Each structure stands twice: as structure tokens, then as C-alpha cells.
Amino acid sequence: MARGRIRARLRRSHLYTFGGCLRPTTTEEVPHPLQGPGYSRTVYCNQPQLLEKNSLFYCKNDVSTTKYNVITFFPKALFEQFRRVANIYFLLAACLSASPISPFSPLSMIAPLAFVVGLSMAKEALEDSRRFLQDVKVNHRKASLHKGNGDFGLRSWQKIMVGDVVKVEKDQFFPADLLLLASSYEDGICYVETMNLDGETNLKVKRSLEATLSLDNDGAFKDFSGTIRCEDPNPDLYTFVGNFEYEHQVYPLDPGQILLRDSKLRNTDHVYGVVIFTGHDSKVMQNSTKSPSKRSTIEKKMDYIIYTLFTVLILISFISSIGFVFKTKYQTPKWWYLRPGNIEYQFDPGKLGLAGMSHLITALILYGYLIPISLYVSIEFVKVLQATFINQDIQMYDDESGTPAEARTSNLNEELGQVDTILSDKTGTLTCNQMDFLKCSIAGTAYGVRSSEVELAAAKQMASDLEEQELNLSNFPMRKESNVPWENITEDEETELGTAVTSKDDGARRPAIKGFGFEDDRLMNGNWLKEPNADVLLLFFRILAVCHTAIPELNEETESCTYEAESPDEGAFLVAAREFGFEFYRRTQSSVAICERFSASGQVVQREYKILNLLDFTSKRKRMSVIVRDEEGSIILFCKGADSIIFDRLSKNGKMYLEATTRHLNEYGEAGLRTLALAYRKLDDQEYSDWNNEFQKAKTAVGSERDTMLEQVSDVMERELILVGATAVEDKLQKGVPQCIDKLAQAGLKIWVLTGDKMETAINIGFACSLLRQGMKQICITMNSDSVTNDGKEVIKGNILNQITNASQMIKLEKDPHAAFALIIDGKTLTYALEDDVKHQFLGLAVGCASVICCRVSPKQKALVTRLVKEGTGKTTLAIGDGANDVGMIQEADIGVGISGVEGSNG
């Protein structure tokens, strides 16, 4: 997209997103009272001399993620080495060898120990140096910094100080936590991608204070100054409290104006910001944890083996010393040729205790090779070579991103063969997190004839099961021609199996379109006009094209639009709308423009919808709405959201298609598709005007009640809706996932999937990736939604405990030795199941199941479940994830695998 297109001067408008509601509109508002501990930071913007004068020396902007530094390397690395019992033993032996009674020279014992410990420390230094080089690379990134007199110049990140004014260009990362001052858009908004922070791929909208909107060019900062008084550094990503003193006015600050380090600027040419938190004070670094020092199970077991060998060594030496004492007492005096009258103390019959003790020490040194030090040298060499092989494994190289495998530590290589339980994220790890619009239900009619991967997987499984039954039941050999192995079916043939060809011309295959897997001639090429409910279909397409927060980017080569959307689902909706003939092609701050093509002949009508209000989607609301005025002057509310939320808000006359749509949604859920319901409501001018007045009052309210008031006022408008239909998009599986899980299950590994998706979708994805199989008995642990509000905590916990006990009893009474069970539990129920008095019963049930799926879980619950499995079973756990929200789980497990995915990369 041309730079001028994004930077076009846009008139200030009404709300652009729901988050924009939080922007103060007056300068007379009372600022947040900053008092007490935790609110002591003062930032003098663009005034470095004041920082020095007031002795405000905040931490530098360089960061370090290494385990060691120059000062701490030797003490910490030595501690790591002498956590091994064997090394302590060798150290004691080396100390004893320095005594005069040692049969060996001290060098023969000290040199091997120094070599082993030195080699291990060198390996630690090598691995930590890679982290150091990554830190150096980040710290030396360049940022555009205000040097004075309105001039900006490049400076490395590590030299940025609190109070500096920074200019960040499109697709660059923010070098520190910044207060947004202005952007290339006239009303001070910008779009931020935060997947490195919270694992979310959707874009967030940030908006500057109105008072700083004029600071939109380099020269405007020549005389800029201001003071920020705010909270101290803390790890909370979603809160910020502070005041901004500028031009003799005080403005309250909130998270909507804060740009966090490691998030990326998107869809905005540039922004200006002032640095608030640097380096390890920034919120992303406050959330980071030190690299955990993990030891493999084999290494821990070797400690116990060393204890045993050391006990045997002492026993042998003690027996040898007793024999020596007897020999010295009774036989040495008779050996005149040894001159007993002039003998050394360690052989003196008159000092038997001293002689016995000296012989014990000598024996310990002599028999010390019972524990071979060379074994540890070999093991360390093998580990380093194994890590090298992993890094150079061509089968683990990703061609698309050019990313090889990287073993961050070689201490855990042998653990890979000991894994008992695998805990995996779903979105982006098992699936691609790339959505395809596959099916839809409009006016009670289902459209879309193509099968999902879940349905194809189910068909494969049923076919293989039938084949096995026929082979088992039949006494006659099967004809080879009648059995086609599913493994030999190609992707093209599989696509044909999943597609009901509605076109008369079988040879005409539509080229694949990213985000659009829909096939049904009833809606394509303008044929929807011939359908009985064409007016409802028209509304459906318009909701897809208008109800969103996406930005179109014109590809000048193809002259078609691509979309930067807040979520992959929203991008798929816009691609679908375009293919149906309703192309969204332009957005301003106050309107969206749509090209509507009503027939295959190419007749195009351009329509513009004025945006009056836009209420953004949040995880709490589970819906988004846009209120628009069309070209005829009508005011309409378009709404899309979770079916449970939308259905509760339908009017009496808006439920005409409810029964049929509900049936279709259940079918889509069984097919493993992600669904949303679409609805609308027509408003009269007076009704909208009254509501908007209330909305503006809520928007300009001050204090903690503002968010609650906004939600309440929004909820009033999102009522009495009329149902239009529902969408179904598919999140495709990563290549080879079903085959991989199938082989892991055959090897006896237990697989847990921890996902934020709803239960129906997770179950069907489980079938698609072979985690759940036909004939496997499912155990669902859930709690009644009514009980959450009506019953007390103890009653709910008792009910869950009862379900767990009954399920455990069912597994114990199962007579079929080959029976397999799958446990499915949701996040709310898991909250109670992870409490101290329930978690061991829950773990006992889960261990008895072949597969476990935890739905609607939070990042914290992922880490808690991993800890429970690791500590409760005492067996090796492996965690796999691709987003920052999986880091806790990865660090908690015995082995953590971070993969480069759509949501980010970690590990």
C-alpha cells in the first residue's frame, strides 16, 4: 500500500474501537490521585538535564537474558557442577590425594576432576554465550531518537534513556515502554501487534491524548517538554496509572496510551512516543523469568547410584582397614626384617587406631576408581555432539521461515527418550491458526458443501475400522481391488472426497484462495439473488463486509485488497465477503466503503456506510457491534459474536431462524469448525440519539467505574436483535499432526492438549488429529452453568469430586484390557480440580486415560496443570507451545519445546 494512502489526513471521528471510548475528551478532568507506595516514578520528557539534576538514575535500556555474567559465572557455574554428587566425591578424593599417605601424586586426581568440571563449565559458557549474542543483537538495534532542535537520529536501543522522545516506523518493534504522543494518523491512533507479549495475533488499537495530537512532525519536538508521574515498574501488562503534566494542564493516563516494549507497530507509518520504562523495568522484562536450571532424570538417578557406590566403597575400605589392623597387631612384630622397632606411624603396632585410619584413607583413594571419572567426560562429549546433530537435522528445518532447530541446552538430551507425558498447546501448534471460511447458515438454510479435515479424518477412521472388522469376521481372503489403503490417498484425491462437485463442468476447478475454502454454486457468481431469502442473504453479506475493525491494503501489482485484521477469523470473513461480491476496499475514521457486485455480469454499486459507533470485541463481551448510517439515512446495528451470547439477545420476532441455525451450529461444531452468529437491529433516530447521549456521558466519566458504565450502556443497545445466520471457519491442522500423534500413542505416550477453545471445537479437533479415536470412551467433567450462580463453592467442588470419583470407578471396573478412555475438562471446572483437596483425585483419573483435553484454559492454568503432572506422577513431561502465553507451561515442564509459529516463537 502506498505510504500516502495510510498517511492521508483523516477527520477526527466518533469511536473507532471500543478501546477508543476510554479516551478523555476534556482537559478539565480530575487526574488519578497518585499517592502511597508504588507510584513514585517521575519522568521529565525531553529534559535529560532535569533527570540528572534530580538524581533520577533509572535502569539502562540494555537487557540480559543470560544465566551468568562475568562476575557470577565462576561461583554459579561451580555450584551447578558440584550439585552432582560424583563431582563432590571426586573433589574429596582429590583433597585426600594431597595428603602424605596418598599412594598417588595429587596431580593424578586433581587433573581429571579439573578437566571434567572445566569441560562442563565450558559447555555452559558456550550455551550461555548464544543467549548473550542474542541480547547483544537486540541491544544494538537502532531507533530514531530526538537529539535536540527537532532533529532525530539513530541510536542503539541500549543508549535510550527514560524521558527520551522516540520515533518508531511501521513494522518496527518498540525499544522501551512508551507513552504515545502522536501518530501519522491525524487523530493519534496506531495499531499494535502484541503476539510477543501475550500470544495474540490480533492487532490492538492505541490512541494518544488529544493534547499531544499536534506533535505530528519532527520539528514539533524542538521545544516540547512535559512531566509524567506514574506507577513504579510492575509486571501487569494490562494496567497503567499515571498523570501527564503538559502546558500547565494535567491529563490522566491509561493503558490505551502505552506502547509496550517488544510489541510491533502495524498499519501506521510512524508514531512518536516518550520513554517511561527502560530495560528490566519494562513490563515485558518484568514478566520474564530467569532461565531455569533443569537437570535430567538420569542425572538425578546417577546421584543415587553414586551414593550406593560410595557406600560400597566405604564398606570395602573399612573391611580392608580392619584386616590391616589385625595384620599389624599380630603379625608385623614377628617380621623382624621390616625393623618393627623403627617403623612409620601408619604401620606402628603400638598405634593401631592411627594406623587403621591412615589405611582407611589410603584404601579409599586406591579403590576410588570404582566410580570412573572418565564416564562423565564421555557423557559431556556425547551431549554436546547430540545437540549439534539436533541443530543440523535437515528434517527439523522449516523451509518457509528458514528456521533450523536449536537446542538451547544439551543437559536434557537423554530426557527425550524418557518422556511419559506430552502437554501441547493447540492453536498454532497442532493447528496452523490460518482460518478458511468453509460453511455458513443463512435464513435457516445451510450453505457450503466442502468437508472439513475433521470430517475427512472421521471418514478415514470409519473406513479403517470397517476394514478391520471385515478382515476379522470374514473367513475368506479379501480381494485387493476392494480395499484401497487410506494411507495411499493423495491430497488431491482427499480434496475430491471432501468436495461435493456442484458445477456442471467437472473440469473447471476454482483456484485456491487463502482464507476461502467455501464451495456452493447457490451463493457464488451472484446466484444468491435467485434464492428465496435474497434480502436476508444481502444483510448477511453486508454484516461480513461492514462489522469489523480491519484495514484494507491495496496490492498495486494485482490491484486487489489484502486485509490487516485483528484476528484470522475476521480476515477470513472479509475474503469471503469479497468472493461473494461485497468487497470492502476503503476505511476512513468515519466511514467504510464497499463495492457491491450483484450479478455475474460485473454490475458494481459502491456504497458508503457512516460509522456512528463501533463497540469492539473483548473476551468478556464475546461480541462486537457497529452502528452505521447507510446512504438511505437508516441507522442499523450490525452484531456478530458467540452464538450463546447472540441468542440470549434476540427479540421475539428475531428468532425465526433460531431452531434451524442452532441445528446447523451443532453440525459445524461436530465438524471441528469455529462458529459465530450474525444479527442486526434497525434503530430510529430518537432512540439512537437518546442512547448516544448516555454513551457519551459514560465515555467521559472519570474513575474506575467508566469501563463498567460503558459496558452497561453498550449492552442496552445490543438487545432485541434479529438473527440473520452463522459462519463456520476452519483452522487447518499442521501437516503430519495426525500421523505423529498416532505414532506417539502407539509408543505408549500420554498426550494432553491444553487449549483456550470451547469444548465442542476441541473435541472435534481431537478426532481430526487422532487424539480421540472411534470407540474411545469419553469422560467429560463439567459443571452446570446454573450451579455457578446458585450454589456455593463447596457444593460445586463436591459435585466435581463426585464426577471424578465415579469416572475413576468406571475405569477400574472396565473389564476390557484394551479399552481406552479420554478425559475432557473445561477451564472453570479445572479451577476447582486444581485445588489441593481435589487435584490428586483429578490426576489419578487423568493418568488412567490415554488422552486428556483441557478446554478454555488460561496461561496460568497451563503452567499449573504441567506442574501437577510433573510432580504428581514423578515422570518426565514434555511441553510444546508457540506463543508467549505458553512460556509458563514450557518452563514448568521437564523438557520445554518452543516452536516458531503464527503466534510468535519461544522456548
In tens, the pLDDT along 309-365 reads: 888 888 998 888 888 888 777 776 666 566 656 666 566 666 677 777 888 878 887
The DSSP 8-state label assigned to residue 31 in this structure reads P
C-alpha cell belonging to residue 501? 462437485
> What's the rounded Cα separation, in Å, for the pair 24 and 254?
10
Find out whether 244 and 34 touch, Cβ atoms under 8 Å: no
883 or 221: whose pLDDT is higher?
221
> What's the rounded Cα separation, in Å, for the pair 13 and 291?
47
Output the pLDDT for position 536: 92
List pLDDT tens digits, range 562-606: 887 777 788 889 999 998 989 998 887 688 999 988 765 667 888
Output the pLDDT for position 483: 37
> What's the rounded Cα separation, in Å, for the pair 850 and 855?
17
Find out whether 303 and 84 touch, Cβ atoms under 8 Å: yes
Find out whether 185 and 213 touch, Cβ atoms under 8 Å: no
> Annotation-wise, does 674 bind a ligand?
yes
Question: Is it the case that residue 370 has pLDDT exceeding 60?
Answer: yes
Task: List helix spans (H) across 82-140.
Answer: 85-97, 106-139
Output the pLDDT for position 722: 93
Q: Could you tell me whether strands 431-442 and 445-447 are parallel, antiparallel, or unpaired per DSSP bridges?
A: antiparallel
Active site residue 616: no
The whole-angstrom distance between residue 804's C-alpha and the CA centroid of its chain comes to 29
Helix (H, G, I), strand (E, B) or coil at 230: strand
**For 36-39, which contacts have Cβ atoms below 8 Å and span 24 or more sequence positions?**
38/231, 38/232, 38/234, 39/229, 39/230, 39/231, 39/232, 39/241
> What's the rounded Cα separation, in Å, for the pair 678 and 638?
8
Output the pLDDT for position 526: 84
> What's the rounded Cα separation, in Å, for the pair 318 and 339?
27
Q: Could you tell me whether strands 895-898 and 876-881 are parallel, antiparallel, or unpaired per DSSP bridges?
A: parallel
Task: List helix spans (H) across 747-848.
Answer: 759-768, 785-790, 793-813, 827-833, 839-847
Phi–psi pair at 421, nearest 5 degrees: -130, 130
C-alpha cell belonging to residue 436? 478458511
Beta strands in 630-691 (DSSP E): 635-641, 674-683
Amino acid in the structure at residue 678:
L
> 730-769 burial, b for 16+ CB within 10 Å, e for fewer?
bbbbbeebbeebeebbeeeebbbbbbbbbbbbbbbbbbbb
In the sheet where 226-230 sits, what is the strand order? Answer: 41-45, 226-230, 242-246, 249-253
> Annotation-wise, does 262 bind a ligand?
no
Window from 33-42, 471-480, 626-635, 828-837 with minimum mean pLDDT: 471-480
Instruction: Find the helix packing angle between 73-81 and 106-139, rounded to 10°.
Output: 120
Question: Is it the case that residue 202 has pLDDT exceeding 50?
Answer: yes
Output the pLDDT for position 292: 62
> Annotation-wise, does 617 bind a ligand?
yes
Question: Is it the case that residue 223 has pLDDT exceeding 70?
Answer: yes
Q: Read off the pLDDT band of 23 (50, 70, 90).
A: very low
Nearest of 281, 153, 163 to residue 218 by alpha carbon: 153
List pLDDT tens digits, range 58-103: 888 998 888 888 888 888 888 888 877 778 877 887 787 777 777 7
The answer, as to whether pTM is greater than 0.85, is no
> Annotation-wise, does 334 bind a ligand?
no
Nearest of 10, 2, 19 to residue 185 by alpha carbon: 10
List pLDDT tens digits, range 235-269: 877 778 888 999 888 888 888 899 999 889 987 88
Phi–psi pair at 530, nearest 5 degrees: -85, -10
> Annotation-wise, does 427 bind a ligand?
yes
Residues near 23 by Cβ (< 8 Å), separated by ≥ 6? 207, 209, 210, 256, 699
> Annotation-wise, does 648 bind a ligand?
no
List pLDDT tens digits, range 495-550: 444 443 333 344 344 556 777 889 888 998 888 888 888 899 999 999 999 998 88
Question: Is it the case that residue 468 has pLDDT exceeding 70?
Answer: no
Q: Read off the pLDDT band of 663 (50, 70, 90).
A: very high
Phi–psi pair at 622, nearest 5 degrees: 60, 30
Phi–psi pair at 172, nearest 5 degrees: -100, 155
**Which residue reads 513494522 in cell numbers?**
171
> Annotation-wise, does 731 bind a ligand?
no
Beta strands in 103-183 (DSSP E): 142-148, 151-156, 165-169, 177-183
List pLDDT tens digits, range 626-640: 999 988 889 999 999
Chain-wide mean pLDDT for the chain? 79
Q: Mean pLDDT over residues 835-852, rounded?
A: 89
Catalytic residue among 425, 569, 826, 894: 425
> Annotation-wise, does 494 bind a ligand?
no
> Annotation-wise, does 128 bind a ligand?
no
Residues near 449 by Cβ (< 8 Å), separated by ≥ 6? 499, 500, 502, 519, 520
CB count, 10 Å around CB of 654? 19
Find out whether 159 and 61 touch, Cβ atoms under 8 Å: yes
> Annotation-wise, does 756 bind a ligand?
yes
C-alpha cell belonging to residue 515? 482464507
> Annotation-wise, does 757 bind a ligand?
yes
> Annotation-wise, does 328 bind a ligand?
no
C-alpha cell belonging to residue 665? 451450529
C-alpha cell belonging to residue 835? 485445588
Identify the sign of the CA torsion 65, 68, 69, 72.
positive
- What is the number of alpha carbons within 13 Å of residue 187 lying toward its C-beta? 17
> What's the rounded Cα separation, in Å, for the pair 232 and 378?
50
List pLDDT tens digits, range 407-435: 777 767 777 888 889 988 876 677 776 78
Find out whether 855 and 827 touch, Cβ atoms under 8 Å: yes
**Which residue reads 612384630 in cell numbers?**
333
Find out whether 16 and 589 touch, Cβ atoms under 8 Å: yes
> Annotation-wise, does 755 bind a ligand?
yes
> What's the rounded Cα separation, in Å, for the pair 793 and 789?
10
Output the pLDDT for position 165: 93
Nearest of 177, 183, 277, 164 to residue 226 by alpha carbon: 164
